[in-house]
Amino acid sequence: WDDSLQEVQVDEVIMGHVLQGGSGQNTARQAAIYAGIPKESNAFTVNKVCGSGLKAIALGAQAIMAGEAEVVVAGGMENMSQAPYILPRARWGYRMDVNAKGECIDLMVYDGLWEIFYGYHMGNTAENIAAKYGITRQEQDELGLLSHQRARAAIKEGLFKEEIVPVTLPQKKGEPVVFDTDEQPMDTSMEKMAKLRPVFRSDGTVTAGNASGINDAAAAVVLMSREKAKELGLKPWVAIKAYASGGVDPAYMGIGPVPAVRKALKKAGLTIQDIDVVELNEAFAAQALACMRELGLTLEKTNPLGSGISLGHPIGCTGARLVVTIMYEMKRRNLQTGLVTMCIGGGQGMAMIVENI
């Protein structure tokens, strides 16, 4: 919690978090207290799968507009590498039998990456979209390569430095390690991409090279009205213009951004041509390409610093991370209007439009 904001009374902390199993009570409250936000604030946790972080920000904006809060900290977090396994029948015991079988479930997959209605992995929904829209393996690999190239270039130029809060990690021996750079972006090529095998179907096109990774991350923003910011002597970065959600067939969940973006544009009174920069989460290259095709988005405007394939998709955090990134990108390039959007497991999409102030 920044020293310059110590005197600001935070009314509510709202954090998206999907893989909550084994994390303890109300992880948003934990984040608030451990971050040093005064205990007089309130907190609750949101689970809208991949849209959790963005939904948290939208809920914060709603609370302010409704007069229920003046200052809200909202964002998202995920620790996919620490998601537990569960023994769902263990509470009632297992038979004393040499042939007794106890089921063990990976919650990272089941609660975060499993299409619950059709009974298969999210990657299969990307295969469905690739087949429906005629998106080839080469097209997916090309987008995957571009994502890594853009992310690596952005890191080399130091474009993420301002938005990343370094984490100091004590070591058993020697000096602490300062963690301040994303690990996922890779130095790859089309030749390397082509060697990767399909993950979800033997005759499929989705590989580890054109899909997002398994990641840990957190991101947050401070929300308040323009009047409150003026009262506190603070300069707002961006204004939330509109946000919306949309629903689609869960088997094609990756196309969810399309109805969400169209709704948000209509609410904002804008067209896609009015958008200067887009952060469209790359859960999979296939779905990102399908959404770009349907919405008329160009590669020039979309994900200029890379996205989910290169930077990762820590599911509860992603929406908030996209907002933070687009804020810095808009300020750096003096862009007026930005669009954040992502697909959501279970057949949904969410979008938010922000404006430079």
> Which tens digits make up the pLDDT trace of 31-74?
999 999 999 999 999 999 999 999 999 999 999 999 999 999 99
The rounded mean pLDDT for the chain is 96
Res 30 pLDDT > 80: yes
Q: Which of 3-17, 60-74, 266-280, 325-339 has the lowest mean pLDDT?
A: 3-17
The single residue of 50, 148, 291, 317 carrying the catalytic annotation is 50
- pLDDT at 92 (0 to 100): 84
- pLDDT at 4 (0 to 100): 62
- pLDDT at 103 (0 to 100): 85
The single residue of 17, 148, 317, 343 carrying the catalytic annotation is 343
Res 1 pLDDT > 80: no
Res 251 pLDDT > 60: yes
When pLDDT is averaged across residues 311-331 and rounded to a whole number, the result is 98
Sheet holding 71-79, edge to edge: 42-46, 12-16, 71-79, 216-224
The reply to whether 50 belongs to the active site is: yes
- pLDDT at 306 (0 to 100): 98
Task: Name the more confident of 102 and 151.
Answer: 151
The reply to whether 313 belongs to the active site is: yes
Task: Name the more confident of 7 and 50.
Answer: 50
The reply to whether 343 belongs to the active site is: yes
Give the 3-state secondary structure of residue 300.
Answer: coil
- pLDDT at 8 (0 to 100): 75
- pLDDT at 300 (0 to 100): 97
Residue 169 dihedral angles phi and psi, to the nearest 5°: -110, 110
The single residue of 148, 291, 313, 317 carrying the catalytic annotation is 313
Q: What is the Cα–Cα distance from 118 to 114, expressed in whole angstroms? A: 9
Residue 51 dihedral angles phi and psi, to the nearest 5°: -95, 10
Band the pLDDT of 90: cuts 50, 70, 90: confident
When pLDDT is averaged across residues 233-241 and rounded to a whole number, the result is 95
Query: Could you give the domains of the chain?
Result: 3-83+215-232 (3.40.47.10)
Do 28 and 15 form a contact (C-beta atoms < 8 A)? Answer: yes
When pLDDT is averaged across residues 91-118 and rounded to a whole number, the result is 87
According to DSSP, residue 111 is labeled H
- pLDDT at 285 (0 to 100): 99
Number of helical H runs and strand E runs in the chain:
11, 14
Within 10 angstroms of residue 213's Cβ, the number of other Cβ atoms is 16
- Written as one string, the DSSP assignment of 186-251 is ----HHHHHTSPPSS-TT----TTSB----EEEEEEEEE-HHHHHHHT----EEEEEEEEEE--GG
Band the pLDDT of 93: cuts 50, 70, 90: confident
Contacts 24+ apart (CB under 8 A), 269-275: 270/241, 270/337, 270/353, 272/296, 272/297, 274/337, 275/301, 275/337, 275/338, 275/339, 275/353
Listed residue (352, 318, 310) closest to 51, CA to CA: 318
Give the 3-state secondary structure of residue 328.
Answer: helix
